[in-house]
Structure 1
Amino acid sequence: MKFFDDFKRLITQLKTIATLTKKLQSQQQTLSEQLIHAQTVRDDIQIDIEKMNFKNKPHLDRIQKTTDHLNTELSKFKA
């Protein structure tokens, strides 16, 4: 009897493993699809960042130039 009970438990556990494996494969597929979507969003955001950097570069250059000029002028008065 013990042998048959152990065998039944083994069969039950194997069925459970098979079911969990199928669920894992399904979740892996879902995760792969979400990863592809996340990569697309990341690429879109990176493109937007590059566009903003391109548009802001002249303004940032002018600000830096003005800041350097002001620092130079202020250093004359500190001495």
Structure 2
Amino acid sequence: MKLFDQFKNLITNIKEITSLLKQLQLQQHELTEQLKEIQSVSEDIQSDIEKMNFKNQPHISRINEATEHLNTELSKFKAH
């Protein structure tokens, strides 16, 4: 009788493992699809960042030049 109960428990455990494995496979598939979507969004964002940086580069260059000029002028006052 004990052997029969152990066998029944084994069968029950195998069914549960099989069910859990199917759930895991479904979740893996969902994660894979979500990852593809996230990668697409990430690429879009990176493209937008590159476009924004390209458009802002002239402004950033002028700001850097003005900052350098101000620092140079300020250093003259600090030296005195």
5+ residue gaps in structure 1? none
Q: Offset of 1:71 from its aligned partner?
A: 1.5
Cα offset for 1:77? 2.4
State the aligned residue count.
79
In structure 2, the residue matched to 1:34 is 34
TM-score normalised by the chain length of structure 2: 0.93
Alignment partner, residue 55 of structure 1 = 55
How far apart are the structure 2 equivalents of 1:48 and 1:41?
A: 11
Q: 2:36 corresponds to which letter in structure 1?
A: I
In structure 2, distance between residues paired with 1:55 and 1:30:
38
Structure 2: give runs of 5+ residues left out of the alignment.
none
The aligned counterpart of 2:72 is 72
Deviations 1:20-75 (A, max 9, x none): 11111011000000000000000000001101110111001001101111111222
**Which residue in 2 is equivalent to 1:20?**
20
How far has the Cα of 1:15 moved from its partner? 0.5
AA partner of residue 10 (structure 1): L
Q: Which moved more, 1:25-34 or 1:65-74?
A: 65-74
Extract structure 1 runs of 4+ deviating beyond 3 A. Answer: none
CA RMSD of superposed structures (Å)? 0.8
SS at match of 1:39: helix
